Amino acid sequence: MLLHLKAVIEAVIPEVNMKYKWSIPCFYAEKRPICYLNASYKGKFVDIAFWNSAHLTKHIELMYSEKRKVVKSFRYGSLEEINDEILIEVLQEVYKLKEKGFYKRN
């Protein structure tokens, strides 16, 4: 699942750079954080979490935010659960909003 998500991210945002921060893969575009991947072996799922999710409008009803104040993510328990079409739409929006900050300020 992690490799598939990485491939989709790199296909949608070709100039993305992957760095390891906090021992997890984090993706940056033009030095701005875009998203990160997190594997929960205890929970048996993989998250793709979006840094600027406070600004997102697409498919937020499908995202998880439990125990988080701002960051939202897609959570997958199997490769078959990944809907590439939805993921691509959100990644495109995330990239367009890369200049936006972590918090949504009025």
Domain of 6, CATH number, reads 3.90.1150
Residue 105 clears pLDDT 60, i.e. is over it:
no
Angle at 39 between CA 78 and CA 10, to 5 degrees: 80
Whether residue 67 is contained in a domain is answered as: yes
- Nearest-CA neighbor of 104 among 71, 67, 58? 71
Whether residue 36 is contained in a domain is answered as: yes
Could you tell me the residue range of the domain that residue 45 belongs to? 2-96
Is residue 38 within 8 Å of residue 49, measured between CB atoms? Answer: yes
Whether residue 52 is contained in a domain is answered as: yes
Quote the pTM value. 0.87
Q: Render pLDDT for 26-80 as a digit per residue (tens, 0 to 9).
A: 999 988 899 999 998 888 999 999 988 888 889 999 998 877 777 899 999 999 9
Whether residue 105 is contained in a domain is answered as: no
Q: Render pLDDT for 77-102 as a digit per residue (tens, 0 to 9).
A: 999 999 999 999 999 999 998 776 65
Is residue 2 within 8 Å of residue 81, measured between CB atoms? Answer: no
Q: How many domains does the chain contain in total? A: 1
Whether residue 102 is contained in a domain is answered as: no
